Amino acid sequence: MVLISARLVLLTLCGWVLCWTLVNLFRSHSVLNLLFLGYPFGVYVPLCCFHQDSRAHLLLTDYNYMVQHQAVEESASTVGGLAKSKDFLSLLLESLKEQFNNATPIPTHSCPLSPDLIRNEVECLKADFNHRIKEVLFNSLFSAYYVAFLPLCFVKSTQYYDMRWSCEHLIMVWINAFVMLTTQLLPSKYCDLLHKSAAHLGKWQKLEHGSYSNAPQHIWSENTIWPQGVLVRHSRCLYRAMGPYNVAVPSDVSHARFYFLFHRPLRLLNLLILIEGSVVFYQLYSLLRSEKWNHTLSMALILFCNYYVLFKLLRDRIVLGRAYSYPLNSYELKA
């Protein structure tokens, strides 16, 4: 309750400051310049509406999934109760309550045994991952727009600013916001969930015609969990199973892409460390060669934030690297 009150007080203060700033901007600038203030909202509203539609479709998929495979009357009645129409005020209050109390919910992994359930789970996770990436991209561009680009639109014609430094500052703000939001919306627990789902999904390698003609071949079936190394035929093509368990559709490119991205649990974390480390080294180089005090101050403030993000990423990398290597090492010792 104290945290909610503190957030409400901070939000009220920010609202008063924003209103005071907007009044001054309306007095001193033209309407054309003021249109830059609302440009991102014109892009966000259609995306938000589209997201609500896709979200409803995803919930409907989950509902059908529960009804078909669990057949529990209590869960069906609960979903039916949630599907009742609500007025706008109730939806707004629930949305505010979610923003104040809960973070973005992480889907759960149920380790299904049926190939259909595994593919259904992968489809739901793909939709959720795409939504999170869209949110990261939009919010990072949104931050870079208001922090680094919009102030340039209100600079008076009699004032001079360094165009090269402004563009560099804009890119740095966008990359930093992108990495921070990615670490927030794609935590280690979520990446582990995607890794487990990709391990259950498996992968198929397409082979050339005429190869392995003497080896036993099978007709691919959607109800079979195929072991590693087996050869199957699907859509007049020959495929070899590459994962420990393989239930993916051999001709489905999205399944192959999902397995490539997440079958190694540290791939995304290593990519973020590479990006953040490159940014830190470049900013250190720019800090050493900067001659103006405002450039030095701006770069130093951003570096402090990047040090914390890089430290958090490296800490997670070390801990998760040991955690994922432990089962493999123990298995080798037992063997």
* Domain carrying residue 307: 126-202+263-335
- Which has the closest alpha carbon to 276: 300, 251, 309, 249? 309
Contact (Cβ atoms closer than 8 angstroms) between residue 245 and residue 224: no
pLDDT for the residue 68:
46
| pLDDT single digits (tens) 61-84 | 443 444 344 444 434 444 344 444
Number of domains in the chain: 3
pLDDT for the residue 73:
41
Q: How far apart are CA 130 and CA 57, in angstroms?
A: 14
* Mean of pLDDT over the chain: 78
Q: Identify the helix (H) or strand (E) that includes residue 183.
A: helix 163-185
For the cut 90, the answer to whether the pLDDT of residue 258 exceeds it is yes
> Do 190 and 305 lie in a common domain?
yes
> Do 155 and 253 lie in a common domain?
no
> Do 276 and 172 lie in a common domain?
yes
Please check whether residue 44 lies inside any domain of the structure: yes
Greatest mean pLDDT among 24-28, 99-103, 270-274, 296-300 lies in 270-274
| pLDDT single digits (tens) 92-137 | 566 555 555 555 677 776 777 788 888 998 999 999 999 899 889 9
Q: How far apart are CA 51 and CA 127, in angstroms?
A: 11
Question: Lowest-confidence range among 41-50, 300-309, 314-323?
Answer: 41-50
> Do 187 and 45 lie in a common domain?
no
| pLDDT single digits (tens) 9-33 | 888 998 898 888 878 877 877 777 7
Q: How confident is the model at residue 54 (pLDDT cuts 50, 70, 90)?
A: very low
> Do 225 and 150 lie in a common domain?
no
> Do 198 and 271 lie in a common domain?
yes
Q: How confident is the model at residue 90 (pLDDT cuts 50, 70, 90)?
A: low
> Do 303 and 335 lie in a common domain?
yes
Please check whether residue 2 lies inside any domain of the structure: no
> Do 165 and 283 lie in a common domain?
yes
Contact (Cβ atoms closer than 8 angstroms) between residue 219 and residue 233: yes
Mean pLDDT of 192-218: 84
pLDDT for the residue 20:
87
> Do 210 and 62 lie in a common domain?
no
| DSSP helix/strand/coil, 238 | strand
Contact (Cβ atoms closer than 8 angstroms) between residue 194 and residue 129: yes
> Do 304 and 171 lie in a common domain?
yes
